[in-house]
């Protein structure tokens, strides 16, 4: 039987997952529904389309999901284990029949318990490895079903990263079996697995239409010369501001620029040494084993801290503490950056807390603790993957040596005027695999045809209404669970403010999600500010004009505000105006409801009932 503490943890995880599902955009939500149906799915899309966020939502929502990556760094980044480690594959070409005979008893027990697997960066997984996963799961489960009946969720972009083939002998053996290309989609298991291929066809990162079109062309190997000419013309021609991050193709370049940048700053150097425990390779971690910093040096955050800094934030060091660094962010504000722990996970068989059934569970196999900062004079394009940057210098002067490398560098920026080129781009820098490009194009075309079919099958409004209802019910259930022990009460008291902030964020998301989606559908970009759980400011960007609507939660509607400030509203669709007003009133009511709930929760907490 679950203790109250365990019940609370379970409900908090449930609310977090529901909140993540509620915040998905339309395309993400449709794909999530297909994943939830139990089908084998491949999720792809260009850089910045929201693959990572959707993956995180899936991980939060599917119990006992095994998360795997093709490399140590990819596995660490997604909070999982490497494919080779999980399946006990050795490196090089594998004969699956010989391999199965060598699997240890504990590993057999683990693999038989697997129900769901998510593989990130699938483009780096070789066809033989993918086929071996299928063969092993079939054999051990004595099943003819693809992957032994296990649901497989694949995430990645075949236009960005290639499969890893280390030796000539490997490539020769692979090509004899699969032909010229050895992507996962060349494997037999791809066809027998009947994967539903889905593409996130919009970019969440960029808002510059010319830039987006050029990036898409470069990703797909289409109109390369014209697209490069466009990018060469529309990028920022002014000298980059001092300290602008440089994206390079080689570690040698990065080391030189970072070394020179640090040397240019006066003062003493403080060295922060990572604490490494257990089975983890520091080379797989984005954090530095030895982090050298000075006051005044340029840095980038490489982890998230709610309400403080996010992965990719840039700034300048203003204080070096014993186990912290204070940074003045470029976007404004000073933050205290404390140590972060990267965990290397390993999956084992354990009992479910809720059912006592044996399930696959992750456990910590090693860890690395370090200040989550890197010197930010330069970074390799490979390590910049997943980052969103306002501005950077793209330095391809040493050439490119991998498919999609130039595209990855270009797609880090949110808009063209944030991109500075170390040298004009030419066609020799754009490397791509024609088969991977054609495969990705086909998925994109099919996705355009599938969207109306999926929208007819899945009623998004009903889904979101149910999610909001489920969140309210889970929060109500959470508030009614009593604390069993004085020590637990003390621990909860310490974290009460954090928990209140988290719940406020959930409430605000529930109240605003439809509102912001409706605005975006009308080509209006909303930016919302909150303070003490209340909306303090909202800005709308419409036809490149910014409208400020202060104190949204007031008696004045949006349209009344515009009219008072002599803003012409004739071009606004009547339906849009009515919706804005109705949602404005809905937000005010939601704020009142939340205020009453917070007061009720506080009374329960102070009275010992929470």
Kindly state whether residues 329 and 423 are assigned to the same domain.
yes
Q: Are the C-beta atoms of 502 and 20 separated by less than 8 Å?
A: no
Stretches where the chain sits below pLDDT 50 are: 489-494, 496-497, 500-501, 503-504, 506-508, 510-511, 531-535, 549-554, 605-610
Q: Give the pLDDT score at 500.
A: 46
Kindly state whether residues 459 and 424 are assigned to the same domain.
no
* Of 429, 451, 479, the domain-final residue: 429
Residue 513 within a domain: no
Kindly state whether residues 177 and 232 are assigned to the same domain.
no
Question: What does the block give as tokens for 402?
Answer: 């991998």
Which residues in 529-558 are b (16+ Cβ under 10 Å) and which e? eeeebebeebebebeeeeeebeebeeeebb
Q: Indicate which CATH number applies to the domain containing 129.
A: 3.40.50.300
Pairing of strands 246-248, 392-394: parallel
Number of structural domains (the chain) is 2
Q: Give the pLDDT score at 545.
A: 56
Kindly state whether residues 294 and 387 are assigned to the same domain.
yes
Q: Give the pLDDT score at 579.
A: 53
Q: Are the C-beta atoms of 163 and 187 separated by less than 8 Å?
A: no
Pairing of strands 65-69, 81-82: parallel
Kindly state whether residues 266 and 403 are assigned to the same domain.
yes
Residue 597 within a domain: no
DSSP secondary structure code for residue 293 in this structure: E
CB atoms within 10 A of CB 218: 25
Residue 352 within a domain: no
Q: Tell me the chain's radius of gyration from C-alpha atoms.
A: 26
Helices (H), 310-396: none
- pLDDT tens digit string along 549-582? 443 334 555 555 555 555 555 555 555 555 555 5
What is the spatial distance between Cα 114 and Cα 126, in angstroms, rounded to a whole number? Answer: 21
Helices (H), 204-284: 209-219, 224-234, 251-263
Helix/strand/coil (H/E/C) assignment for every residue in 279-333? CCCHHHCCCCCEEEECCCCEEEECCCECCCECCCCEEEEEEECCCEEEEEECCCC
What is the spatial distance between Cα 395 and Cα 379, in angstroms, rounded to a whole number? Answer: 10
Residue 27 within a domain: yes
Residue 141 within a domain: yes
Q: Are the C-beta atoms of 479 and 610 separated by less than 8 Å?
A: yes
Q: Which residues pair with 277 in a beta bridge?
A: 367
Q: Give the pLDDT score at 490.
A: 46
- pLDDT tens digit string along 430-457? 999 999 999 999 999 999 999 999 999 9
Residues 6+ apart with CB under 8 A from 76: 69, 280, 284, 285, 286, 342, 344
Which residue is associated with the tokens 């194009």?
A: 441
Kindly state whether residues 244 and 192 are assigned to the same domain.
no
Q: Which of 249, 576, 248, 209 is nearest to 401 (CA)?
A: 249
Please report the sign of the dihedral spanned by the C-alpha atoms of residue 454, residue 460, residue 462, residue 463.
positive
Q: Give the pLDDT score at 101.
A: 61
CB atoms within 10 A of CB 441: 16
Q: Indicate which CATH number applies to the domain containing 318.
A: 2.30.30.940
Q: Which of 158, 75, 45, 121 is nearest to 403 (CA)?
A: 158
Kindly state whether residues 76 and 130 are assigned to the same domain.
yes
Please report the sign of the dihedral spanned by the C-alpha atoms of residue 578, residue 572, residue 527, residue 409.
positive
Q: Are the C-beta atoms of 377 and 258 separated by less than 8 Å?
A: yes
pTM beyond cutoff 0.85:
no
What is the spatial distance between Cα 248 and Cα 224, in angstroms, rounded to a whole number? Answer: 21
Kindly state whether residues 389 and 453 are assigned to the same domain.
no
Could you give the C-alpha distances from 219 to 120, 277, 408, 525, in angstroms and in order? 19, 40, 9, 27
Which residue is associated with the tokens 């008893």?
A: 105
Residue 223 within a domain: no
Q: Are the C-beta atoms of 81 and 348 separated by less than 8 Å?
A: no
Kindly state whether residues 124 and 170 are assigned to the same domain.
yes
What is the spatial distance between Cα 548 and Cα 527, in angstroms, rounded to a whole number? Answer: 10
Could you give the C-alpha distances from 73 to 305, 472, 522, 602, in angstroms and in order? 21, 38, 40, 43
What is the spatial distance between Cα 343 and Cα 252, in angstroms, rounded to a whole number? Answer: 28
Kindly state whether residues 197 and 253 are assigned to the same domain.
no
Parent domain of 444: 4-203+436-464
Residue 235 within a domain: yes
Residues 6+ apart with CB under 8 A from 275: 368, 369, 370
Residue 233 within a domain: yes
What is the spatial distance between Cα 451 and Cα 431, in angstroms, rounded to a whole number? Answer: 31
- pLDDT tens digit string along 193-220? 999 999 998 655 555 578 888 988 998 8
Kindly state whether residues 153 and 107 are assigned to the same domain.
yes
Kindly state whether residues 243 and 286 are assigned to the same domain.
yes
Q: Are the C-beta atoms of 406 and 227 separated by less than 8 Å?
A: no
């Amino acid at each position: 039987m679950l203790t109250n503490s365990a019940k609370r943890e379970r409900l908090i995880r449930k609310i977090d997952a529901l909140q993540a599902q509620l915040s998905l955009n339309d395309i993400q939500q449709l794909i999530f529904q297909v994943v939830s149906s139990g089908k084998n799915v491949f999720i792809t899309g260009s850089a910045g389309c929201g693959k990572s966020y959707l993956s995180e939502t899936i991980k939060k929502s599917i119990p006992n999901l095994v998360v795997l990556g093709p490399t140590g760094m990819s596995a660490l980044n997604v909070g999982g284990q490497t494919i080779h480690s999980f399946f006990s594959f050795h490196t090089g070409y594998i004969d699956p029949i010989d391999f199965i005979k060598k699997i240890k008893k504990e590993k057999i027990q683990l693999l038989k318990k697997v129900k769901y697997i998510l593989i990130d960066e699938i483009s780096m997984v070789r066809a033989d490895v993918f086929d071996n996963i299928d063969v092993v799961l079939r054999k051990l489960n004595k099943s003819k079903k693809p992957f032994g009946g296990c649901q497989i969720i694949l995430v990645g972009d075949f236009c960005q990263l290639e499969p890893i083939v280390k030796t000539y002998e490997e490539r020769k053996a692979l090509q004899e079996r699969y032909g010229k290309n050895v992507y996962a989609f060349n494997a037999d298991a791809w066809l027998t697995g009947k994967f539903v291929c889905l593409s996130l066809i919009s970019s969440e990162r960029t808002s510059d239409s010319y830039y987006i079109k050029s990036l898409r062309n470069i990703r797909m190997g289409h109109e390369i010369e014209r697209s490069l000419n466009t990018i060469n013309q529309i990028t920022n021609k002014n000298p980059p501001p001092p300290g602008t991050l440089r994206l390079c193709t080689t570690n040698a370049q990065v080391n030189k620029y970072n070394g020179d940048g640090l040397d240019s700053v006066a003062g003493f150097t403080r060295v922060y040494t990572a604490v490494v425990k257990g089975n983890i390779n520091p080379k797989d971690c984005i954090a530095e084993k030895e982090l050298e910093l000075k006051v005044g040096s340029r840095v980038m955050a490489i982890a998230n801290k709610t309400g403080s800094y996010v992965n990719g934030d840039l700034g300048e060091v203003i204080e070096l503490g014993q186990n912290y660094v204070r940074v003045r962010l470029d976007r404004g504000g000073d933050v205290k950056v404390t140590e972060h722990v990267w965990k290397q996970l390993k999956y084992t068989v354990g009992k479910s807390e809720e059912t006592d059934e044996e399930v696959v569970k992750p456990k910590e196999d090693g860890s690395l603790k370090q200040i989550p900062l890197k010197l930010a004079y330069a970074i390799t394009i490979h390590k910049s993957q997943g980052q969103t940057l306002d501005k950077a210098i793209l330095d391809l002067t040493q050439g490119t040596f991998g498919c999609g490398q130039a595209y990855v560098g270009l797609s880090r920026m949110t808009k063209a005027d944030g991109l500075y080129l170390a040298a004009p781009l030419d066609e020799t820098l754009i490397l791509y695999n024609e088969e991977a490009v054609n495969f990705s194009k086909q998925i994109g075309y099919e996705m355009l045809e599938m969207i109306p079919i999926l929208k007819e099958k899945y009623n998004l409004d009903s889904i979101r209404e149910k999610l909001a209802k489920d969140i309210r019910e889970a929060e109500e259930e959470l508030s009614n669970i009593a604390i069993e022990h004085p020590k637990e009460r003390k621990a909860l008291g310490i974290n009460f403010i954090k928990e209140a902030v988290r719940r406020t964020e959930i409430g605000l998301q529930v109240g605003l999600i439809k509102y912001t989606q409706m605005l975006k559908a009308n080509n209006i970009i909303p930016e919302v500010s909150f303070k003490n759980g209340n909306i303090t400011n909202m800005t709308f960007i419409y036809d490149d004009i910014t409208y400020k609507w202060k104190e949204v939660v007031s008696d004045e509607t949006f349209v009344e505000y515009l009219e008072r400030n002599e803003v012409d509203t004739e071009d606004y669709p009547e339906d849009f105006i009515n919706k804005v007003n109705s949602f404005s009133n809905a937000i005010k009511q939601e704020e009142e409801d939340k205020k009453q709930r917070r007061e009720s929760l506080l009374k329960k907490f102070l009275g010992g009932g929470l």
